[in-house]
Amino acid sequence: MASSSVSRLPLAVLLLVACSSTAAATSYTVGDGSGWTTGVDYTSWASSKNFKVGDNLVFNYAKGLHTVVEVSAAEYMACTAANPLGSDSSGATTVALKTPGTHYFVCSITGHCGAGMKLAMTVGGSNSPATPTPTTPRTSPTTPTTPYTTPTTPTTTTPYTTPTTPTCSGGGGTTATPGMTPFMSYPSAAGLGSAALAGFALVWCVIVQLALL
């Protein structure tokens, strides 16, 4: 007996896990026992419910006397159904709540919406447990980098040569310094030879004779 109980234990655990992980959708009968008709406060009825995506709304009403029309918020406020999002008049209408948000329903028979046949209800998240979505780590592409090298410009070197300054020879001249105006020194009268003095005397006599003429 003990072994039989142990063998049934894993099966029971699996059934419990399966039931808890797949929560059944809830079906709400609009108005409960009153159904879908005039004179019922559907605002109070909806405020006590916790609607989820996947749940169902069941409208029970007399066929041919009422309708179920899903409308926009503006038409709900105005009690009109000119642009229905969905409608039925079978007497037993089941509406699956597929999207979260606020849904609006009215009866399109004249005067019935104003008499209370209007329902606004808010749908929350899904009943099913959220399945984690595997994410692939995002990797940034690696851009190959080229090593930066500074181009070398060949430098041409001109050999530096010091200009040779020519020297002035003769007459006791001095060597000119680069960047300066060369100053020339001439020999003085004391350095003149006897021949040169004789020449000067001769020229002087000629000049005197010409002046006396």
pLDDT of residue 200: 72
The mean pLDDT value for 28-36 works out to 96
Q: Which residue has the tokens 């007497």?
A: 91
pLDDT of residue 154: 56
The residue ranking higher by pLDDT, 149 or 56, is 56
pLDDT of residue 152: 59
The mean pLDDT value for 53-78 works out to 97
Mean pLDDT is highest, among 51-65, 139-153, 160-174, for 51-65
The mean pLDDT value for 165-182 works out to 47
Q: Where are the domains of the chain?
A: 24-128
Residue at 199: amino acid letter: G
pLDDT of residue 84: 96
φ, ψ (nearest 5 deg) of residue 16? -65, -40
Q: With 80 as the cut, is the pLDDT of residue 186 above it?
A: no
Q: With 50 as the cut, is the pLDDT of residue 169 above it?
A: no
Q: How far is CA 190 from CA 19, 174, 197, 198, 199, in A?
A: 143, 19, 10, 14, 15
Q: With 70 as the cut, is the pLDDT of residue 49 above it?
A: yes
The residue ranking higher by pLDDT, 57 or 202, is 57
pTM value?
Answer: 0.52
At residue 27 the predicted structure's pLDDT band, cuts being 50, 70 and 90, is: very high
The residue ranking higher by pLDDT, 57 or 210, is 57
Quote the tokens at residue 119.
Answer: 């329902």
φ, ψ (nearest 5 deg) of residue 104? -125, 135
| Closest CA relative to residue 59, chosen from 9, 103, 125, 10 | 103
What is the percent of the chain with per-residue pLDDT over 70, rounded to a whole number?
55
At residue 140 the predicted structure's pLDDT band, cuts being 50, 70 and 90, is: low
The mean pLDDT value for 76-104 works out to 96
| Closest CA relative to residue 66, chosen from 120, 119, 111 | 111
Look at the domain 24-128 and name its fold: Immunoglobulin-like (2.60.40)
> Which residues are CB-contacts of 116 (< 8 A; sequence separation ≥ 6)?
38, 39, 40, 41, 42
The residue ranking higher by pLDDT, 53 or 189, is 53
The mean pLDDT value for 182-187 works out to 46
Quote the tokens at residue 46.
Answer: 């909806």
